[in-house]
Protein backbone atom coordinates (compact mmCIF):
# COMPACT_ATOMS: atom_id res chain seq x y z
CA UNK A 1 0.00 0.00 0.00
CA UNK A 2 2.88 2.37 0.74
CA UNK A 3 6.08 2.81 -1.22
CA UNK A 4 9.25 2.90 0.85
CA UNK A 5 10.17 6.30 -0.57
CA UNK A 6 6.78 7.73 0.44
CA UNK A 7 7.14 6.43 4.00
CA UNK A 8 10.62 7.93 4.09
CA UNK A 9 9.15 11.36 3.30
CA UNK A 10 6.69 10.98 6.15
CA UNK A 11 9.45 10.14 8.62
CA UNK A 12 11.02 13.51 7.89
CA UNK A 13 8.10 15.28 9.58
CA UNK A 14 6.83 12.69 12.07
CA UNK A 15 7.68 9.63 14.11
CA UNK A 16 5.91 6.74 12.39
CA UNK A 17 4.67 3.66 14.27
CA UNK A 18 2.29 0.87 13.32
CA UNK A 19 -0.81 0.49 15.48
CA UNK A 20 -0.59 -3.29 15.32
CA UNK A 21 -3.02 -5.70 16.91
CA UNK A 22 -6.75 -5.72 17.50
CA UNK A 23 -8.59 -2.62 18.71
CA UNK A 24 -8.74 -4.01 22.25
CA UNK A 25 -5.07 -5.00 22.38
CA UNK A 26 -2.47 -3.21 24.49
CA UNK A 27 -0.08 -2.45 21.55
CA UNK A 28 -2.90 -0.90 19.54
CA UNK A 29 -4.01 1.31 22.41
CA UNK A 30 -0.44 2.30 23.31
CA UNK A 31 0.47 3.43 19.79
CA UNK A 32 -2.82 5.17 19.18
CA UNK A 33 -2.54 7.09 22.44
CA UNK A 34 0.51 8.96 21.13
CA UNK A 35 -0.80 9.72 17.64
CA UNK A 36 -1.75 13.14 16.29
CA UNK A 37 -2.45 11.60 12.88
CA UNK A 38 -3.76 8.14 12.02
CA UNK A 39 -3.31 6.81 8.49
CA UNK A 40 -6.01 4.22 7.90
CA UNK A 41 -7.00 1.83 5.13
CA UNK A 42 -9.25 -1.08 4.26
CA UNK A 43 -10.03 -3.02 7.43
CA UNK A 44 -9.26 -0.20 9.86
CA UNK A 45 -11.59 0.05 12.86
CA UNK A 46 -14.31 2.65 13.12
CA UNK A 47 -13.23 5.67 15.13
CA UNK A 48 -16.15 5.51 17.51
CA UNK A 49 -16.22 6.78 21.09
CA UNK A 50 -14.43 3.68 22.37
CA UNK A 51 -11.50 3.98 19.97
CA UNK A 52 -11.32 7.74 20.34
CA UNK A 53 -10.97 7.32 24.11
CA UNK A 54 -7.65 5.60 23.35
CA UNK A 55 -6.54 8.54 21.19
CA UNK A 56 -6.56 11.72 23.29
CA UNK A 57 -4.07 13.48 21.00
CA UNK A 58 -5.65 12.52 17.68
CA UNK A 59 -6.32 15.47 15.38
CA UNK A 60 -6.50 13.96 11.91
CA UNK A 61 -7.38 10.71 10.11
CA UNK A 62 -5.88 10.29 6.62
CA UNK A 63 -7.72 7.41 4.97
CA UNK A 64 -5.69 5.62 2.31
CA UNK A 65 -8.81 4.01 0.81
CA UNK A 66 -11.87 5.55 -0.81
CA UNK A 67 -15.07 5.82 1.18
CA UNK A 68 -14.61 6.91 4.81
CA UNK A 69 -18.10 5.79 5.87
CA UNK A 70 -16.75 2.65 7.52
CA UNK A 71 -14.29 4.47 9.79
CA UNK A 72 -15.92 7.77 10.78
CA UNK A 73 -18.49 8.43 13.48
CA UNK A 74 -20.39 11.34 14.93
CA UNK A 75 -18.02 11.22 17.90
CA UNK A 76 -15.05 11.77 15.59
CA UNK A 77 -16.57 14.83 13.95
CA UNK A 78 -17.81 16.13 17.31
CA UNK A 79 -14.19 16.23 18.46
CA UNK A 80 -13.20 18.32 15.46
CA UNK A 81 -10.89 15.65 14.05
CA UNK A 82 -10.09 16.28 10.38
CA UNK A 83 -10.67 13.47 7.86
CA UNK A 84 -9.27 13.01 4.37
CA UNK A 85 -9.88 10.36 1.72
CA UNK A 86 -7.76 8.91 -1.08
CA UNK A 87 -10.78 8.47 -3.33
CA UNK A 88 -9.28 10.90 -5.83
CA UNK A 89 -6.42 8.50 -6.53
CA UNK A 90 -8.91 5.65 -6.95
CA UNK A 91 -10.93 7.60 -9.49
CA UNK A 92 -8.35 7.20 -12.26
CA UNK A 93 -8.35 3.37 -12.47
CA UNK A 94 -12.14 3.21 -12.16
CA UNK A 95 -12.54 5.73 -14.97
CA UNK A 96 -9.99 3.93 -17.15
CA UNK A 97 -11.81 0.64 -16.60
CA UNK A 98 -15.13 2.31 -17.42
CA UNK A 99 -14.02 3.82 -20.72
CA UNK A 100 -12.28 0.58 -21.70
CA UNK A 101 -15.53 -1.27 -20.99
CA UNK A 102 -17.44 1.17 -23.20
CA UNK A 103 -15.08 0.46 -26.08
CA UNK A 104 -15.11 -3.32 -25.55
CA UNK A 105 -18.89 -3.64 -25.25
CA UNK A 106 -19.59 -1.38 -28.21
CA UNK A 107 -17.27 -3.62 -30.24
CA UNK A 108 -19.04 -6.72 -28.87
CA UNK A 109 -15.63 -8.06 -27.82
CA UNK A 110 -16.77 -10.53 -25.11
CA UNK A 111 -19.15 -12.30 -27.47
CA UNK A 112 -17.30 -12.11 -30.77
CA UNK A 113 -14.07 -13.22 -29.08
CA UNK A 114 -15.75 -16.32 -27.64
CA UNK A 115 -17.29 -17.21 -30.98
CA UNK A 116 -13.96 -16.72 -32.73
CA UNK A 117 -12.18 -18.84 -30.13
CA UNK A 118 -14.66 -21.64 -30.72
CA UNK A 119 -13.78 -21.62 -34.42
CA UNK A 120 -16.78 -19.71 -35.72
CA UNK A 121 -15.34 -18.17 -38.87
CA UNK A 122 -18.57 -16.31 -39.60
CA UNK A 123 -18.60 -14.45 -36.27
CA UNK A 124 -17.01 -11.27 -37.62
CA UNK A 125 -19.49 -10.98 -40.45
CA UNK A 126 -22.46 -11.90 -38.27
CA UNK A 127 -21.56 -9.36 -35.60
CA UNK A 128 -20.46 -6.61 -38.02
CA UNK A 129 -23.83 -4.75 -38.01
CA UNK A 130 -23.57 -4.47 -34.22
CA UNK A 131 -19.97 -3.28 -34.02
CA UNK A 132 -19.67 0.38 -33.04
CA UNK A 133 -16.92 2.79 -32.09
CA UNK A 134 -17.03 5.26 -29.22
CA UNK A 135 -17.86 8.34 -31.30
CA UNK A 136 -20.85 10.01 -32.95
CA UNK A 137 -23.19 9.07 -30.11
CA UNK A 138 -24.71 10.16 -26.82
CA UNK A 139 -23.04 8.99 -23.61
CA UNK A 140 -25.01 9.32 -20.41
CA UNK A 141 -23.38 9.52 -16.98
CA UNK A 142 -25.16 9.31 -13.65
CA UNK A 143 -23.10 11.31 -11.18
CA UNK A 144 -20.45 13.98 -11.69
CA UNK A 145 -18.42 12.42 -8.89
CA UNK A 146 -14.63 12.17 -8.84
CA UNK A 147 -14.91 9.10 -11.06
CA UNK A 148 -17.58 10.68 -13.22
CA UNK A 149 -15.43 13.74 -13.83
CA UNK A 150 -12.41 11.60 -14.71
CA UNK A 151 -14.57 9.66 -17.17
CA UNK A 152 -15.61 12.97 -18.72
CA UNK A 153 -11.96 13.97 -19.05
CA UNK A 154 -11.02 10.68 -20.72
CA UNK A 155 -13.99 10.85 -23.08
CA UNK A 156 -12.67 14.19 -24.27
CA UNK A 157 -10.22 12.34 -26.53
CA UNK A 158 -13.04 10.58 -28.40
CA UNK A 159 -14.52 12.56 -31.29
CA UNK A 160 -18.05 13.84 -31.61
CA UNK A 161 -19.50 12.57 -28.36
CA UNK A 162 -22.35 14.35 -26.66
CA UNK A 163 -22.04 13.72 -22.92
CA UNK A 164 -25.19 14.04 -20.83
CA UNK A 165 -24.95 14.06 -17.04
CA UNK A 166 -27.61 13.54 -14.43
CA UNK A 167 -26.47 14.92 -11.09
CA UNK A 168 -28.78 17.10 -8.99
CA UNK A 169 -25.74 18.48 -7.16
CA UNK A 170 -23.89 19.66 -10.28
CA UNK A 171 -24.10 23.45 -10.70
CA UNK A 172 -24.81 24.71 -14.20
CA UNK A 173 -21.51 26.62 -14.27
CA UNK A 174 -19.51 23.48 -13.51
CA UNK A 175 -21.42 21.55 -16.17
CA UNK A 176 -20.40 24.17 -18.72
CA UNK A 177 -16.79 24.02 -17.54
CA UNK A 178 -16.84 20.23 -17.90
CA UNK A 179 -18.29 20.54 -21.38
CA UNK A 180 -21.31 18.37 -20.63
CA UNK A 181 -25.05 18.74 -21.00
CA UNK A 182 -27.14 18.57 -17.85
CA UNK A 183 -29.95 16.07 -18.24
CA UNK A 184 -32.65 14.26 -16.37
CA UNK A 185 -32.21 10.63 -15.40
CA UNK A 186 -34.70 9.72 -18.09
CA UNK A 187 -32.71 11.58 -20.75
CA UNK A 188 -29.52 9.85 -19.65
CA UNK A 189 -31.22 6.45 -19.85
CA UNK A 190 -32.06 7.08 -23.51
CA UNK A 191 -28.36 7.33 -24.44
CA UNK A 192 -26.53 4.59 -26.33
CA UNK A 193 -24.00 4.27 -23.50
CA UNK A 194 -24.94 4.73 -19.84
CA UNK A 195 -22.43 4.61 -16.99
CA UNK A 196 -23.23 4.90 -13.28
CA UNK A 197 -20.99 6.90 -10.91
CA UNK A 198 -23.29 7.88 -8.05
CA UNK A 199 -23.04 7.02 -4.33
CA UNK A 200 -25.22 4.54 -2.47
CA UNK A 201 -27.75 6.70 -0.65
CA UNK A 202 -31.41 6.21 0.23
CA UNK A 203 -32.27 8.55 -2.64
CA UNK A 204 -30.27 6.53 -5.19
CA UNK A 205 -31.37 3.00 -4.24
CA UNK A 206 -32.88 1.25 -7.29
CA UNK A 207 -32.78 4.42 -9.37
CA UNK A 208 -32.35 1.98 -12.24
CA UNK A 209 -35.64 0.13 -12.01
CA UNK A 210 -38.27 -1.28 -14.36
CA UNK A 211 -39.30 2.21 -15.48
CA UNK A 212 -35.86 3.67 -16.13
CA UNK A 213 -34.32 0.49 -17.55
CA UNK A 214 -37.13 0.32 -20.10
CA UNK A 215 -35.89 3.65 -21.49
CA UNK A 216 -32.57 2.15 -22.62
CA UNK A 217 -32.56 1.83 -26.41
CA UNK A 218 -31.96 -1.54 -28.00
CA UNK A 219 -28.22 -2.32 -28.14
CA UNK A 220 -27.48 0.17 -25.37
CA UNK A 221 -24.46 -0.37 -23.13
CA UNK A 222 -25.00 -0.13 -19.37
CA UNK A 223 -22.00 -0.09 -16.98
CA UNK A 224 -22.06 0.02 -13.19
CA UNK A 225 -18.79 0.52 -11.31
CA UNK A 226 -20.29 2.44 -8.38
CA UNK A 227 -22.57 0.51 -6.00
CA UNK A 228 -24.81 -2.43 -6.70
CA UNK A 229 -27.81 -1.04 -4.83
CA UNK A 230 -28.38 1.58 -7.52
CA UNK A 231 -29.79 -1.12 -9.82
CA UNK A 232 -32.88 -3.21 -9.15
CA UNK A 233 -31.38 -6.50 -10.29
CA UNK A 234 -34.75 -8.23 -10.70
CA UNK A 235 -35.83 -5.44 -13.03
CA UNK A 236 -32.51 -5.63 -14.86
CA UNK A 237 -32.94 -9.36 -15.42
CA UNK A 238 -36.44 -8.81 -16.78
CA UNK A 239 -35.21 -6.16 -19.21
CA UNK A 240 -31.95 -7.80 -20.31
CA UNK A 241 -33.57 -11.19 -20.84
CA UNK A 242 -36.08 -9.93 -23.40
CA UNK A 243 -34.06 -7.63 -25.64
CA UNK A 244 -30.50 -6.77 -26.74
CA UNK A 245 -28.83 -4.54 -24.17
CA UNK A 246 -25.25 -5.12 -23.07
CA UNK A 247 -24.47 -4.85 -19.39
CA UNK A 248 -21.28 -4.86 -17.33
CA UNK A 249 -21.64 -5.05 -13.55
CA UNK A 250 -18.48 -4.64 -11.52
CA UNK A 251 -20.62 -4.24 -8.39
CA UNK A 252 -23.77 -6.05 -7.29
CA UNK A 253 -26.24 -6.08 -4.42
CA UNK A 254 -25.44 -8.14 -2.44
CA UNK A 255 -21.75 -8.48 -3.17
CA UNK A 256 -20.71 -11.03 -4.19
CA UNK A 257 -23.81 -11.78 -6.23
CA UNK A 258 -25.92 -14.67 -4.99
CA UNK A 259 -24.96 -17.97 -6.65
CA UNK A 260 -28.54 -18.46 -7.83
CA UNK A 261 -28.98 -14.96 -9.29
CA UNK A 262 -30.65 -15.27 -12.70
CA UNK A 263 -28.37 -12.52 -14.00
CA UNK A 264 -25.61 -15.14 -14.04
CA UNK A 265 -27.48 -16.98 -16.80
CA UNK A 266 -27.70 -14.09 -19.27
CA UNK A 267 -25.06 -14.03 -22.02
CA UNK A 268 -25.45 -10.26 -22.48
CA UNK A 269 -24.55 -9.53 -18.85
CA UNK A 270 -20.83 -9.44 -17.99
CA UNK A 271 -19.91 -9.78 -14.30
CA UNK A 272 -16.55 -8.73 -12.86
CA UNK A 273 -15.62 -9.04 -9.16
CA UNK A 274 -15.26 -5.37 -8.13
CA UNK A 275 -11.92 -4.90 -9.89
CA UNK A 276 -12.46 -1.51 -11.52
CA UNK A 277 -10.75 0.37 -8.72
CA UNK A 278 -7.18 0.35 -7.49
CA UNK A 279 -5.76 -3.18 -7.18
CA UNK A 280 -1.96 -2.94 -7.24
CA UNK A 281 0.00 0.02 -8.65
CA UNK A 282 -2.86 2.47 -8.12
CA UNK A 283 -3.20 1.39 -4.48
CA UNK A 284 0.26 2.75 -3.90
CA UNK A 285 -0.92 6.01 -5.44
CA UNK A 286 -3.71 6.03 -2.86
CA UNK A 287 -1.19 5.41 -0.10
CA UNK A 288 0.94 8.30 -1.32
CA UNK A 289 -2.06 10.63 -1.35
CA UNK A 290 -2.85 9.77 2.29
CA UNK A 291 0.78 10.41 3.28
CA UNK A 292 0.80 13.72 1.42
CA UNK A 293 -2.36 14.82 3.23
CA UNK A 294 -0.86 13.83 6.59
CA UNK A 295 2.27 15.83 5.79
CA UNK A 296 0.21 18.87 4.79
CA UNK A 297 -1.66 18.69 8.08
CA UNK A 298 1.51 18.39 10.15
CA UNK A 299 3.05 21.35 8.31
CA UNK A 300 -0.06 23.46 8.81
CA UNK A 301 -0.90 23.55 5.09
CA UNK A 302 -4.43 23.39 3.59
CA UNK A 303 -5.80 19.90 3.01
CA UNK A 304 -6.79 19.00 -0.54
CA UNK A 305 -9.01 15.96 -0.01
CA UNK A 306 -10.92 16.64 3.18
CA UNK A 307 -14.24 14.93 3.91
CA UNK A 308 -16.56 16.82 6.25
CA UNK A 309 -19.62 15.63 8.11
CA UNK A 310 -21.85 17.55 5.71
CA UNK A 311 -20.26 15.95 2.65
CA UNK A 312 -21.30 12.47 3.79
CA UNK A 313 -24.87 13.29 2.75
CA UNK A 314 -23.92 13.29 -0.94
CA UNK A 315 -20.63 11.39 -1.37
CA UNK A 316 -19.89 7.69 -1.48
pLDDT tens figures, 232-274: 999 999 999 999 999 999 999 999 999 999 999 999 999 999 9
The closest alpha carbon to 239, from 255, 262, 256, 272, belongs to 262
Q: Name the band, by pLDDT with cuts 50, 70 and 90, for residue 315.
A: confident
Does residue 16 share a domain with residue 74? yes
**Contact (Cβ atoms closer than 8 angstroms) between residue 122 and residue 200:** no
Does residue 154 share a domain with residue 237? yes
Residues forming a β-bridge with 246:
221
Region 81-105: mean pLDDT is: 97
Does residue 101 share a domain with residue 51? no
Residues 6+ apart with CB under 8 A from 243: 218
Q: DSSP secondary-structure letter at 264? A: G
Does residue 248 share a domain with residue 126? yes
Does residue 266 share a domain with residue 147? yes
Does residue 36 share a domain with residue 102? no
Residues 6+ apart with CB under 8 A from 104: 110
- Number of domains comprising the chain: 2
63 SS3 class: strand
Q: What is the mean pLDDT of the chain?
A: 94
Does residue 287 share a domain with residue 266? no
HSE (side-chain half, CA atoms, 13 Å) at 253: 17
Residue 231 phi/psi, 5-degree rounding, is -115, 130
pLDDT at residue 20, as a whole number = 61
Tally of residues, the chain: 316
Does residue 255 share a domain with residue 290? no
105 SS3 class: helix
**Contact (Cβ atoms closer than 8 angstroms) between residue 24 and residue 47:** no
Residues forming a β-bridge with 208:
231
Sheet holding 37-40, edge to edge: 37-40, 60-63, 82-84
* Domain span at 36: 4-84+280-313
**Contact (Cβ atoms closer than 8 angstroms) between residue 84 and residue 291:** no
Does residue 78 share a domain with residue 102? no
Conformational region of residue 50, where left means phi above 0, alpha means psi within -120 to 50, and beta covers everything else = alpha
Does residue 132 share a domain with residue 203? yes
Q: Please give the Cα distance from 25 to 272 (Å, whole number).
A: 37
Does residue 66 share a domain with residue 205? no
- Dump pLDDT digits (tens) for 7-31: 999 999 898 888 765 666 777 888 8
- Dump pLDDT digits (tens) for 63-89: 999 889 999 999 999 999 999 999 999
**Contact (Cβ atoms closer than 8 angstroms) between residue 135 and residue 159:** yes
- Residue 239, domain CATH: 3.40.50.720
Sheet holding 137-142, edge to edge: 181-182, 161-166, 137-142, 193-196, 221-224, 246-249, 269-271
Does residue 304 share a domain with residue 232? no
Amino acid sequence: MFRDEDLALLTEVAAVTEAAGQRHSEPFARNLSRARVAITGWGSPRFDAEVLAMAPRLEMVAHSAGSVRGIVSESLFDRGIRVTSSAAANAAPVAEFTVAAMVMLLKQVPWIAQAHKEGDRTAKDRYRPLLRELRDMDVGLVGASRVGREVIRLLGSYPRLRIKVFDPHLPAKQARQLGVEQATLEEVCRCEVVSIHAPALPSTRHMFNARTLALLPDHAVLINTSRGSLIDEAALYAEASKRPIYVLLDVTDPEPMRPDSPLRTLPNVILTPHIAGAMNQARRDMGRLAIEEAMRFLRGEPLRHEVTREMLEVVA
